[in-house]
Amino acid sequence: MGLAKTELFTTEQNKLASLLKALAHPARIAILQHIIQSNTCICGDLVTEIGLAQPTISQHLKELKNSGLIKGTIEGTSVCYCIDEQNWNIARELINSFFNQNSNSADCC
């Protein structure tokens, strides 16, 4: 099919998977790291910093924006992207609590 059967899963499972999907590409990881590391918001320099074409970067930025992890504000002819701190923290918590479900792991295997 190619289509995830979202109706089989809980809203939380779908939400977590969707968030992880937004992060699951090296270009988007790189973009987020660039945004985080530059004190001021990075704008179009991403295209030169990362070696991908401008439409490709723009597409990845759109996905990150849709996920809520970043937000962009128009600044003259360019656009200024930065982390959406609130959603970033929500995402962190969501992933954290997934990883910290305590497995009463008797290491049975």
Catalog residues that contact DNA under the rule CB under 7 A: 1-5, 21, 24-25, 27, 43-44, 47, 52-56, 58-63, 72, 74, 76-79
91 binds, among a second copy, DNA, none (CB under 5 to 8 A by kind): a second copy
Q: How far is the CB of 63 from a second copy (least distance, A)?
A: 12
The closest alpha carbon to 82, from 63, 100, 103, 61, belongs to 61
For residue 103 the two structure tokens come to 């497995």
Q: Which residue has the tokens 């939400």?
A: 15
Strand stretches in the chain, DSSP E: 70-75, 78-83
What are the C-alpha distances in Å from 27 to residues 5, 7, 30, 50? 27, 30, 5, 8
User: Is residue 81 within the footprint of a second copy (CB under 8 A)?
Assistant: yes
* Distance in Å, CB of 50 to a second copy, minimum: 6
Structure tokens at 37: 């590391």
- What residues have CB less than 8 Å from 14, skipping those under 6 apart? 6
Determine if 40 is a binding residue for a second copy (CB under 8 A). Answer: yes
Binding site for a second copy (CB under 8 A): 4-6, 8-9, 13-14, 16-18, 20-21, 23-30, 33, 35-37, 39-41, 50-52, 71-73, 80-83, 85, 88, 91-92, 95-96, 98-109
